[in-house]
Amino acid sequence: MKEQMRIGFDAKRAFRNFTGLGNYSRAAISILSEYYPDNNYFLYTTFYKKHPLLAFSKRPNITVRGPEGFLKRIPSLWRSYGIVSDIHFDKVELFHGLTGELPVGLSPKVKKVVTIHDLIFLRYPEYYKSFDRWIYTRKCKSACKRADLIIAISEQTKQDIIHFFGTDEKKIRLVYQGCNEQFYDKCSKIEKKNVKRLYKLPDNFVLSVGTIESRKNMLGLVKAFQYLPEDIHLVVIGRATEYAKQVKEEVQKLGLTERIWFLHRVAFSHLPAIYQQAKLFCLPSLFEGFGIPILEALNSGLPVVTSKISSLPEAGGPDSIYIDPLDDKAIAEAIHRAATDDALRERMITKGLKYALNFREKNIAKNLWNTYKEVMS
């Protein structure tokens, strides 16, 4: 197989979303264009704006494409169908759907790869509206059927693809994702002090990051704090949903309003300084496709307490503490151990940092490139 290729990406999320799927898309494109610079990369997106996180899109080996003419007024139509003519015009040899879907009508000459992040909408349908669930299922199932190879971001996701879609295991490749490199470096004392003052952070706190929705089990984490010493606080960072009202009502009911802190619209660039001032990280989620915040915590030198189910042990590694997310007292006990046992903390931090090295950019880029080489051969 030749070492130089013309590779296309569905880059909508890379340009529009600045959390989960957007982070994955940007990271994949950025590390491939950095470690394999001889290729030509084409980013197809309906939306573009200048942003520091999109600086990689200006590299000479990257071309950004969007809808033109009347399709500018119907971007969704271009993304599903009109995009195909642009892909063919650009002589793309391999197209990678980064977020669970592929455009309809691509030539058989164009090799197709799709990344499936999770099938939570099928495993926990009660979390989704019926129409959304139907759309997600239709897109993902179709993409898995038409793709030459499928990338699953965790073993859990791989098994779900096999279970729900009946996909042949031989068609699926496991390629983990990583976290943003800003979490690798230590923040200065001044930077941490300024961030602490800006967000009015407490001195001794447990950190939890993620959308405040029922699947993340924030209610269980809040209930656990009734069993913990009063000097231990909880800082929650994430977008609020209707479920957040229920969580805050429970906080008031348990008399924890002085100990539970909810932060919304936190600047992404401030997250490392917040992580590095926490005592530990806790994510007692009921299900995750992977769990990027866990990698952010490990790279930040934090002990991690998380659930023993779904993909979370894959993200946390062998030295994190795993709990039953439905057992409030078990969550509290694990937090107390990780916060007070100095020898345990030191071991968790040291080994956690070592484990996180498995998810660095060079390794991920190599795994993606090997998948591309396989599908092209």
Verify that 21 and 123 share a domain, yes or no.
yes
Verify that 126 and 245 share a domain, yes or no.
no
Verify that 122 and 242 share a domain, yes or no.
no
Verify that 156 and 212 share a domain, yes or no.
no
Verify that 59 and 161 share a domain, yes or no.
yes
Verify that 94 and 106 share a domain, yes or no.
yes
Q: What is the per-residue pLDDT across 35-44, written as a single tens digit (0 to 9) for each? A: 999 999 999 9
What is the arithmetic mean of pLDDT over 138-149? 97
User: Which of 287, 304, 286 minimizes the C-alpha distance to 295?
Assistant: 304
Give yes or no for residue 17 having a pLDDT over 90: no
Verify that 151 and 292 share a domain, yes or no.
no
pLDDT band at 3 (very low <50, low <70, confident <90, very high): low
Q: What is the per-residue pLDDT across 280-328, written as a single tens digit (0 to 9) for each? A: 999 999 999 899 999 999 999 999 999 999 999 999 999 999 999 999 9
d(CA 191, CA 175): 34
Please check whether residue 1 lies inside any domain of the structure.
no
Where does the chain show beta strands of DSSP type E?
A: 6-10, 40-44, 62-65, 94-97, 111-116, 149-152, 172-174, 205-209, 233-237, 260-263, 280-283, 304-307, 321-323
Single-letter amino acid code for the residue at 233: H
CA end-to-end span of the chain: 6
Give yes or no for residue 1 having a pLDDT over 60: no
Verify that 71 and 204 share a domain, yes or no.
no
pLDDT band at 77 (very low <50, low <70, confident <90, very high): confident
Please check whether residue 51 lies inside any domain of the structure.
yes
Q: What is the per-residue pLDDT across 219-254, written as a single tens digit (0 to 9) for each? A: 999 999 999 999 999 999 999 999 999 999 999 999
Domain count for the chain, please give it: 2
Tell me if residue 139 falls in helix, strand or coil. Answer: helix
Verify that 155 and 269 share a domain, yes or no.
no
Verify that 228 and 80 share a domain, yes or no.
no
CATH number at residue 204: 3.40.50.2000
- Percent of residues, the chain, with pLDDT higher than 70: 99
210, 282 contact by CB (below 8 A): no
pTM greater than the 0.95 cutoff: no
Single-letter amino acid code for the residue at 282: C
Residue 13: give the domain boundaries.
6-178+360-376
Q: What is the per-residue pLDDT across 163-179, written as a single tens digit (0 to 9) for each? A: 999 999 999 999 999 99
Verify that 231 and 131 share a domain, yes or no.
no
Verify that 114 and 188 share a domain, yes or no.
no
